[in-house]
């Protein structure tokens, strides 16, 4: 079983010809709502990539999510969003009197650039005390991001380490973490800007495809398997004592890159869950499959709705 512990947000997305000035009202081109939050997106990615869209009730991996929503209508939408994609949402707490997390997203039509106001609401009600223990049966893999309070994430890492559960951290939005946090992290998945931030690098224009000194700094943080996603340039895999491996991105017709990183994380987690072998060959296969899954997502518009189902890809263990 994979357990994702993290954020759930309702996305309110307005597309506009231009961004309003102070005091100005603009009639927008379009408006849509959708389920989001990095935690929920990655849980949905794990669930979709381990089941067929024709039968979501059973899959090759059980995927559950722990998090918190408010007792408002958005909270109900977020729970339904998880269940409709095959995620077990029984561990998502519904906090009385709290508001669900909301992201107000303004997309400028001509540039595609977005501006986001994030109100964490119930996501920030998750306290370290909620995770000093984990209920049995324990998951095989825990996936974390950084959209819930940091002290809570650090407690989850401690508990997972005590229970010897493999942890995948996607440190987004990125911040520098205490050194001891990395002792509990087996898989670190970062994009280029996250790689720069977690290594405390001031320069934001590092080329992570070729800069081996920076690669060493990133690996020295302590995670056993480090994956840097490079957008349209693919993926780079680092592991102590092994040569750097790069995987070219699939050549696709790019529509919308939203949720590409979340798809990559979900697919990689499913692949390493289905094959417990951590040899270089097995890791390369997992990364290659996640690279294919993420490419499918960028070919389609939307966030969670763009994430492919297992039946849209070759099997994760295909030769
Ligand atoms: P994030 O969405 O977290 O910023 P990236 O932009 O690095 O992450 O994208 C994650 C992964 O999605 C990439 O490593 C790659 O596998 C896939 N991907 C992203 N952009 C493209 C693209 N233009 N063409 C093909 N694959 C892509």
Q: 248 C-alpha vs ligand 1 centroid, how far in Å?
A: 11
Residue with the smallest CA separation from ligand 1 atom 1 is: 261
Residue with the smallest CA separation from ligand 1 atom 18 is: 231
Q: Is residue 18 part of a domain?
A: no
Ligand 1 touching residue 190 (CB < 6 A): no
- The token pair at 125 is 């009600």
User: Could you tell which of 195, 264, 268 is best to mutate to test the pocket of ligand 1, judged by most ligand atoms within 8 Å of the CB?
Assistant: 264
* Sequence-separated (6 or more) residues with CB below 8 Å from residue 116: 103, 104, 105, 106
* Assembly ipTM: 0.99
Say what the pLDDT of residue 318 is: 63
Q: Is residue 30 part of a domain?
A: no
> In this predicted model, what pLDDT tens digit does every residue of 56-95 receive, in sequence order?
999 999 999 999 999 999 999 999 999 999 999 999 999 9
Burial-class residue 257 by CB neighbours within 10 Å (0-12, 13-18, 19+).
Answer: middle
Ligand 1 touching residue 209 (CB < 6 A): no
Calpha distance 152→162 (Å, rounded): 15
Ligand 1 touching residue 6 (CB < 6 A): no
> In this predicted model, what pLDDT tens digit does every residue of 145-163 receive, in sequence order?
999 999 999 999 999 999 9
Q: Is residue 113 part of a domain?
A: no
Q: What is the DSSP string of 53-113?
A: TTBTT--SS-EEEEEEEESSHHHHHHHHHHHHTT-EEEEEEEETTPPPEEEEEEEETTT--
Q: Is residue 29 part of a domain?
A: no
Give the mean pLDDT of 22-45. 96
Name the domain count of the chain: 1
Ligand 1 touching residue 235 (CB < 6 A): yes
49-83: string of b/e by CB count within 10 Å (b at 16+)? bbbeeeebeebebbbbbbbbbbebebbebbbebbe
CATH number of the domain at 215, please.
3.40.1190.20
Say what the pLDDT of residue 212 is: 85
> In this predicted model, what pLDDT tens digit does every residue of 101-130 receive, in sequence order?
999 999 998 888 889 999 999 999 999 999
Calpha distance 248→246 (Å, rounded): 7
Q: Is residue 19 part of a domain?
A: no
Q: Is residue 116 part of a domain?
A: no
Q: Which domain holds residue 66?
A: 2-8+36-100+123-312
Q: Which of 11, 72, 262, 288 is catalytic?
A: 262
* Active-site residue, 262 included: yes
Q: 269 C-alpha vs ligand 1 centroid, how far in Å?
A: 16
Q: Is residue 23 part of a domain?
A: no
Ligand 1 atom closest to the Cα of residue 259 is 2
Q: Is residue 20 part of a domain?
A: no
Residue with the smallest CA separation from ligand 1 atom 24 is: 232
- Residue 211: CB atoms within 10 A of its CB come to 15
Ligand 1 touching residue 47 (CB < 6 A): no
Ligand 1 touching residue 229 (CB < 6 A): yes
Strand duo 30-36 + 9-16: pairing: antiparallel
> In this predicted model, what pLDDT tens digit does every residue of 241-284 receive, in sequence order?
899 999 999 999 998 899 999 999 999 999 999 999 999 999 99
């Amino acid at each position: 079983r994979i357990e994702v512990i993290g954020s759930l947000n309702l996305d309110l997305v307005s597309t506009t010809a231009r961004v309003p000035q102070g005091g100005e009202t603009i009639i927008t081109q379009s408006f849509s709502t959708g389920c989001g939050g990095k935690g929920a997106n990655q849980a949905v990615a794990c669930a979709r990539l381990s089941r067929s869209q024709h039968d979501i009730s059973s899959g090759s991996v059980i995927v559950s999510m722990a998090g918190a929503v408010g007792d408002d209508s958005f909270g109900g939408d977020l729970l339904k969003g998880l269940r409709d994609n095959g995620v077990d949402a029984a561990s998502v707490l519904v906090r009385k009197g709290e508001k669900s997390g909301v992201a107000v997203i303004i997309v400028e039509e001509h540039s595609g650039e977005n501006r986001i106001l994030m109100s964490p609401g119930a996501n920030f009600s998750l306290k370290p005390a909620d995770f000093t223990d984990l209920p049995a049966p324990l998951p095989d893999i825990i996936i974390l991001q950084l959209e819930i309070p940091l002290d809570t994430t650090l407690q989850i890492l401690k508990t997972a380490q005590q229970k010897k559960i493999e942890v995948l951290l996607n440190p987004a939005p990125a911040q520098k973490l205490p050194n001891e946090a990395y002792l509990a992290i087996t898989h670190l998945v970062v994009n280029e800007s996250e790689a720069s931030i977690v290594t405390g690098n001031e320069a934001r224009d590092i080329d992570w495809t070729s800069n081996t000194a920076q690669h060493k700094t990133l690996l020295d943080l302590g995670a056993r398997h480090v994956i840097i996603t490079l957008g349209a340039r693919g993926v780079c895999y680092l592991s102590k004592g092994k040569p750097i491996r790069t995987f070219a991105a699939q050549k696709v017709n790019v529509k919308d890159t939203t949720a590409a990183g979340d798809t990559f994380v979900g697919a990689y987690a499913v692949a390493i869950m289905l094959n417990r072998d951590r040899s270089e060959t097995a890791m390369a296969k997992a990364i290659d499959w996640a690279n294919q899954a993420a490419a499918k997502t960028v070919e389609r518009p939307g966030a969670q709705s763009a994430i492919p189902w297992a039946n849209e890809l070759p099997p994760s263990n295909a030769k």
